[in-house]
Chain A
Amino acid sequence: MNFDELFGNFPALTITGLEQGAIYALVALGYTLVYGVLRLINFAHSEVFMVGTFTALWTWEALGYDQNSPSPAIGPLILALVAGLVVAAVASAATAVTVELVAYRPLRRRNAPPLAFLITAIGASFVLAESFGIGTSRAPFGMPVLIPSETAFTVFGAAVTNIQLLILGVTLVMMVSLDQFVNRSRLGRGIRAVAQDADTAALMGVNKNRVILLVFVLGGLMAGVAALLWNVRYGYTKFNVGFLIGLKAFAAAVLGGIGNLRGALLGGLLLGVAENYAAGLFGGDWKDFTGFVLLIVLLMFRPTGLLGESLGRARA
């Protein structure tokens, strides 16, 4: 135990933990949305994220940025970021939809048992990860430094960088807009209706399959945004980059209450920060250990997660 390390670096550990947690939260949304409507853990979601990281990188390469190019001026920078964001979001959403159409919908039509979905989800995850692995020779890819990291301001002696502000800001904006969309819009009402009671919703004229597709699109879009932020912050991708993040994001979703959008944000941030504190206190090798012990202990006391499973039970 190293309390000096923890308390000495407490502000810095908190900020970098929040930043990592924000990315967990965005990916966690995909798990939560699909679970809320289908009661299905979409394990292929980690690969939806991975596809986003690769397509954003390829977009930048197509725009002429390679790993060693200098950081662009503000105009081309915004262009590169927006282009990367659009391509990553669209590609991730398309991947999520493809998985739904190819892997899940045929099973649903045949009323397959939940176990069949679970195995199919894992299978889809492997197929996607391995096809990228084979296609890229399992090599790691570095990325251009589009935004050089600069200290924006300091809190309690810890530097907050412009990239960290960007990540936290974008995550909050995405969260709020998704929350508003699901709770206020017509399409959002359809999602909540199907989550509450799919059959009744169908009788009321909600097209169930369309709602399910929408849920996969939304989850994919969020994963695409997360992928872009990941690229900007960590500047690296590989065919299995989604595995660990997917696992953590899934844990974050369960921690906050799977099926609950706000729970995904809370769970993600909490997990990110807890991991960092653990790494400070016990050393880096205890990071994952602590994160998952936290999950188990919390679930013992609140089996449905911190905020409970609410997508279905939200007010109509």
Chain B
Amino acid sequence: MRQKLARVLGGVAISALVISGAAACKADSGTEGGSGDKAACDLKIGFFGPLTGDAAGLGIHMRNGTKLAIDQYNKDNADCKVNLAEYDSQGDPAKAPALAQQAVGDTKVVGIVGPAFSGESEVADPIFDEAGLPIITPSATRPSLSTKSWKIFHRGVGNDTSQGPAAGRYIKNVLKAEKVYVVDDQSAYGAGLVDEVKKVLGAVAGEDKVQVKQTNFSAVVTKIVGSGATVLFFGGYYTEAGLLLKQLKGAGWKGTMVAGDGVNDANFIKVAGQQVAEGTVLTCPCAPATAAKGTFVTDYKAAFENAEPGTYADVSFDITKIFLEGIKAGKSTRADLLAFVKSYNKAGTATGVTYKFESNGELDPAQVLVWAFKVNAGQVVPDIEIPKA
């Protein structure tokens, strides 16, 4: 009986293999045939970033921006749709390689919006590069990402060599702080950002490092309070930033925290609490998403239960549309779409930024702007655009 069952199962497995093999052949020939002018159908655009975990708040807004762009495209092209493939990295570089392989292995995926963070980019981008799968990241801001000569890499925002110095200038010129303490979380993003800030500030009152997932900051809190610093610059993500600030204020510290785009999210206030978060300054190499152009804000709110678009939602929307335009123009292979992105030169409808990439994948420097935001009454609100040096 058991033998019989095994034979039946084996037969099923073999026939399944044959059928799927045939299907795969068919799919292959389908994409080859699609490289003409007519748009290919059922292609996928991947979103790669944290949708759960400590930094999910940042990722979800970007995913929503991407989803909104694809949904609008599908409404206009109901007979030939594009699908969204989500790759939830939890922002964890350890989880990224397997997910990148998964995306590469799916031949329907022709473009990736992401990876959202710098740490995961460092391990996932080489895999995308090998497969020639074009990516545009809406938010990974570590400068060195564009120096690895990955052909597929594009960055839809400025990097930390624009954000870091701008944050430094804000601390120096707007807050006029004399004693600044800097702390980073030892991530690719956080450490890089702090390096850039230090270059502008020169001498700092002190510096220390914490760890991602650390919860007890008593030692660093003691040091910051003891240093007499009036401003803390934190390079890292919102969970650690919120906890650190909460414990700092609990120890009687009265200064201001300044942090980068990794903290620029409503979840920061959720972790720290409204009273504690009040007055915190957050930078971003992007314009306020809540003031995006066109119908983006109303469309976003209508699509996502009246949620205000968060940091980089508008950027994700615009860069997804670059891919969609390419697909519409019949660029249905990864190589064609890559060439399309490389030669792209048009303004995005939500951000108004002209997307034109340099040969290393960086956004044209003339297009980069950095904004400072402030936590005010439990909301992250735009403060000023930080002037270029």
Give A residues with C-beta under 8 Å from B: 5, 8-9, 12-13, 16-17, 19-20, 67-68, 133, 137-142, 144-145, 149, 151, 159, 161, 163, 234-236, 238, 240-241, 244-245, 275-276, 279-280, 283-285, 287-288
Contacts and interface: CB of A to CB of B under 8 A. Distances in A.
Interface of B: 52-54, 56, 90, 183, 186, 206, 208-211, 213-216, 218-223, 225-226, 239, 242-243, 246-247, 250-252, 267, 270-275, 378
A12 B226 contact: yes
Contact of A137 (B52, B225, B270): B52
A275 B219 contact: yes
Q: Top 8 nearest A-B pairs by Cβ distance?
A: A279-B219, A16-B218, A285-B209, A149-B250, A138-B52, A68-B274, A12-B222, A284-B208
Contacts of B273: 67-68, 142, 144-145, 235
Contact of B90 (A5, A138, A140): A138
Contacts of A141: 270
Given A9-B226, A138-B90, A19 B218 contact: yes
A277 B252 CA distance: 21
A137 B56 contact: yes
B186 A236 contact: no
Contacts of A240: 213
B25 to A, nearest CB: 38
Contacts of A279: 208, 219-220
Contacts of B271: 140, 142, 236
A5 B223 contact: yes
B56 A276 contact: no
A235 B246 contact: yes
A234 B243 contact: yes
Contacts of A137: 52, 56
A256 B174 CA distance: 52
Contacts of A276: 218-219, 222
23 contacts: A12-B225, A16-B218, A16-B221, A16-B222, A20-B218, A68-B273, A68-B378, A138-B52, A139-B56, A139-B267, A140-B242, A140-B270, A142-B273, A145-B275, A161-B250, A163-B250, A234-B215, A236-B215, A236-B271, A241-B215, A244-B213, A284-B211, A285-B186
B267 A68 contact: no
Contact of A138 (B54, B211, B221, B378): B54
- Of B208, B214, B225, the most chain A CB neighbours within 10 A belong to B208
B218 A138 contact: no
A90 to B, nearest CB: 24
A71 to B, nearest CB: 10
A279 B137 CA distance: 35
Nearest to A23: B216
Contacts of A5: 206, 223, 226
Nearest to B225: A12
Contacts of B210: 284-285
Contacts of B243: 234, 236
A242 to B, nearest CB: 11
B270 A149 contact: no
A285 B219 CA distance: 11
Contacts of B239: 140, 238
A286 B215 CA distance: 15
B186 A138 contact: no
A275 B219 CA distance: 8
B94 to A, nearest CB: 14
A9 B216 contact: no
A23 to B, nearest CB: 9
A284 B219 contact: yes
A95 B385 CA distance: 52
B56 A138 contact: yes
Contacts of B267: 139-140
B226 to A, nearest CB: 5
A232 to B, nearest CB: 11
Nearest to B238: A140
Contact of A283 (B56, B209, B252): B209
B250 to A, nearest CB: 4
B251 A149 contact: yes
B252 A151 contact: yes
A234 B247 contact: yes
A171 B186 CA distance: 33
Contacts of B272: 142
Contacts of A13: 218-219, 222
Contacts of A287: 219
A14 B274 CA distance: 30
Contact of B226 (A8, A20, A139, A140): A8
